[in-house]
Amino acid sequence: MKVLGIDPGSETLGWGVVEGEGLKYKLVDFGTVKSSPKESFSKRLLKIYEGVQAVIASFKPDTLSVEEAFYANNVKVALKLGQVRGVVLLLGEKNGLAIAEYSPRLIKQTVVGYGNAEKHQVQEMVRLLLRLQKAPEPHDASDALAIAICHFHHAGVQNRINIAKLKK
């Protein structure tokens, strides 16, 4: 299984591709899609669309794992994040990918063992789990890898639940 993790952002969107089976996985690649806050928001969404589509075309993942929206104090920030997530989810559907969404707290709990972990703690655990020489940078890409890793830890459980439901 190949999983594309996405950390949505309107200025910097992080992505990371991890492949493997069960709890045995390895890094494929990671990066960011950057857009300028000076551009109109619609142009930034187009840049995100094109950037994520290029990643999907290049790596051909099976699953898109995305961070769920979180509560933001600033309504405008929350709305923009929702629009970025909409573009990413649309791309997943358009490309026939399985889609999984995880809360920021669950991602941190899964990867670090603590739901309120700091960015540097997530980066260090991603480095350890993927057996890398140095922590992935920037943190947007590291967070995207954490989202993909989270999927490997939870997908097996979800598959067992789905099979159990089918047997009823």
Question: What are the residue numbers of the active site?
Answer: 7, 67, 140
Closest CA to 9 of 106, 138, 151, 121: 138
Residue 48's CB is within 10 A of a number of other CB atoms, namely 24
Q: CA 145, CA 141: separation in Å to the nearest integer?
A: 6
What is the signed CA dihedral for 152, 156, 157, 159, rounded to 10 degrees?
A: 130
Rounded Cα–Cα distance for residues 30 and 104 (Å): 19
